[in-house]
Amino acid sequence: MTQMNKPLRYLYPVIFLIASAIGTTMLMSPVYAEGLGADYMSLGIMGALHAGGYTVMTIITGLLMDRYEKIR
């Protein structure tokens, strides 16, 4: 393993744990909201806002990645 890849060995598990926590939160938030008394319309709006935000951030991230070169 090269010297540059050594820090990545520790970074990948952290990224995995953070992504797992975010995914679990997104799966459980409708259950939590329903427990607080949210109706199906509110749950649909929550899902639509999540999908819209994800779409917008994917486009912005793609544009930024195209603009700036990869550092080697």
Count of C-beta atoms within a 10 Å radius of residue 23:
10
Backbone torsion region of residue 2, taken as left when φ is above 0, otherwise alpha when ψ lies between -120 and 50, otherwise beta: beta
Measured CA to CA, the distance from residue 32 to residue 36 in angstroms comes to 6
Is 28 domain-assigned? yes
Look at residue 2 in the predicted model and tell me its pLDDT.
Answer: 59
Enclosing domain of residue 59: 6-67
Domains in the chain, number: 1
Is 18 domain-assigned? yes
| Whether 43 contacts 33, CB under 8 Å | yes
Is 72 domain-assigned? no
Look at residue 1 in the predicted model and tell me its pLDDT.
Answer: 53
pTM over cut 0.75 = no
Is 1 domain-assigned? no
pLDDT at 71 over 90: no
pLDDT at 64 over 80: yes
